[in-house]
Structure 1
Amino acid sequence: MAIGADLQRAGFADIRVVDRPAWQEAELALWTAAAALEPGSDPAMLALKEEAEQFLPLAHSLHRVLVVAAAP
Structure 2
Amino acid sequence: MKRVTGLVAGMVLFVLGVQGGIRLLADRDNAGILDWMPGGFPARLSSYALMVLVGALLAGWGGRKVA
Q: What TM-score, normalized to structure 1? A: 0.40
Greater strand fraction, Structure 1 or Structure 2? 1
With a CA cutoff of 8 Å and minimum separation of 6, indicate the structure with the bigger relative contact order. Answer: 2
Greater helix fraction, Structure 1 or Structure 2? 2
Structure with the greater alpha carbon radius of gyration: 1
